[in-house]
Amino acid sequence: MPMMNAQTYEESLRRLNLVVYLFGKRLTTVVDEPIIRPSMNAVAATYDLAHRPEYADIMTATSHITGMSINRFCHIHQSTDDLVKKSKMGRLLGAYTACCFQRCVGMDALNALSITTYDIDKKKGTDYNRRFLDYLRYVQENDLVCDGAMTDPKGDRGLPPHRQPDPDAFMHVVEEKKDGIVVRGAKAHQTGAVNSHEVIVMPTLSLKKEDADWAISFALPSDARGITYIIGRQSSDTRKREEGTIDRGNRAFGGHEALIVFDDVFVPWERVFMYKEFEFAGDLVERFASYHRQSYACKVGVGDILIGAAQTIARFNGTDSTSHIRDKIIEMNHLNETLYCGCIACASEGSRQPSGTYCVDTLLANVHKQNVTRFPYEIARLAQDIAGGLLATLPSEQDFRSSEVGGWVQKYFRARSDVPTEHRMRILRLIENITMGSAAVGYLTESMHGAGSPQAQRIMISRLVDMERKQKRAKELCGIIDET
């Protein structure tokens, strides 16, 4: 089956029978809902660009199991070159959509499972890797979007899964059958969930023997019986339902998050990739996290757009030639390119795992993500500084179009005589969208909490840095031979 394009992708979503709730009501159509449609457009861009010859080297790859050309989001990394191209793809799409394009999580889940299922089989004599490869072939041949579902609601953070007052706070097995298992629980903060064909579930943290019932990984069609989606709210989300495009900021693209509820959902054995192998839960989490921390190359692409918008509004305001504005633009570029250095470095230093899959350098991936928790916030602050207070006080497009007051909006919010007021309004709304509006979820909140909190990366950095070697060499250089 050939790779899908944007149109066939949309048609594939229309065939799904999803149970989706928004503002307390079940949606009769997901694809055409204005609040969700921009996020679907962003995913569609991952299909669109894969068919453009100029992006083929970045957006496509050769499957190691079929030899066919596939979308890179369905690919298992076979070299450090693959890892580097993944980072380049993230920046490309981030700059193309100026938002989260949602497919990275599924790609990272596939690659983490390709390693972990192999390792479990080697130690336990199971056949998870064969099941996984069969599933991977299905995903690749049908060019599917996979939602990587890792984050559990967690309940009381001070208690492990088996001690929770409500055991459903973590996804767990409630019944074992001859032909599969029945699971219950939920996955929170699921980016682009209703734009996906498949849901890949993974444990959310390292587990002990007492938590074996929570050590599960599996994949299901996104419209499997018993799965319900509850769409999360975002700042300014209802602007997408309004007439006009100025107040949206980003006219075409956007994102969404959802809570996915699994209410006694049946999973056939062929779709189960981990079942009570608690000692491997931490390995799967760590590998996924490493891959996904690399994936924040997308924030570099969004940063490219925000920097371009800041330079544009400076020109529209008539301030682009002042020294302090030029210096702020330089700083924004410096921070953004530093982020790019991190994602390229952890990819370039990646290594081959026993399964044959290449994984990023875990230490550098965590250093990269630690920077992502900080630099986009500073880039956003500088963009808001350059834009000025009108960013937060600009009247609506309806006022701008009004026969009664529109003339005043036109008159008093014009800056340079050669720049239409509407152009100034549009670029301000784009900056607002990325730094304060619905896209800020993807650019800022995801930068902070996506792929783990800042503290999670600091823990990994402290664990992975070889401090003993650093101290040993320092003492050798200054002549400390025998420390007592």
Condensed to tens digits (0 to 9), the pLDDT of residues 27-78 reads 999 999 999 999 999 999 999 999 999 999 999 999 999 999 999 999 999 9
Helices assigned H by DSSP within 51-170: 56-59, 80-97, 104-124, 128-142
Q: Which of 191, 312, 357, 373 is catalytic?
A: 191
State yes or no: is 242 an active-site residue.
no
- Is the torsion defined by CA of 109, 110, 116, 121 positive or negative? positive
Domain layout of the chain by residue ranges: 293-473
* Separation CA 230–CA 119 (nearest Å): 35
pLDDT at site 2: 86
State yes or no: is 99 an active-site residue.
no
Residue 427: name the closest of 278, 283, 253, 246 by CA.
246
State yes or no: is 397 an active-site residue.
no
Residue 108 has pLDDT above 70, yes or no: yes
Q: Which of 74, 104, 146, 343 is catalytic?
A: 104
The per-residue pLDDT for range 266-296, each reduced to its tens digit, is 999 999 999 999 999 999 999 999 999 999 9
State yes or no: is 446 an active-site residue.
yes
State yes or no: is 74 an active-site residue.
no
Model's pTM, two decimal places?
0.96
Ramachandran assignment for 464, one of left (phi > 0), alpha (psi -120 to 50 degrees), beta (any other):
alpha
Residue 484 has pLDDT above 70, yes or no: no
State yes or no: is 257 an active-site residue.
yes
Secondary structure of residue 111 in the 3-state scheme:
helix
Type of residue found at 303 = G
The per-residue pLDDT for range 115-165, each reduced to its tens digit, is 999 999 999 999 999 999 999 999 999 999 999 999 999 999 999 999 999
Structure tokens at 231: 């769409």
* Separation CA 359–CA 324 (nearest Å): 42
Q: Which of 296, 340, 358, 443 is catalytic?
A: 296
Residues in CB range of 124: below 8 A, 6 or more apart: 277
Q: At what angle do helices 128-142 and 104-124 cross, to 10 degrees?
A: 160
State yes or no: is 346 an active-site residue.
no
Q: Which of 46, 74, 77, 100 is catalytic?
A: 100
Q: Which residues of 36-68 are buried (b: 16+ CB within 10 A; e: fewer)?
A: bbbbbbbbbbbbbbbbeeebeebbbbebbeeee
* Class of the CATH domain delimited by 293-473: mainly alpha
Q: At what angle do helices 375-387 and 421-435 cross, to 10 degrees?
A: 160
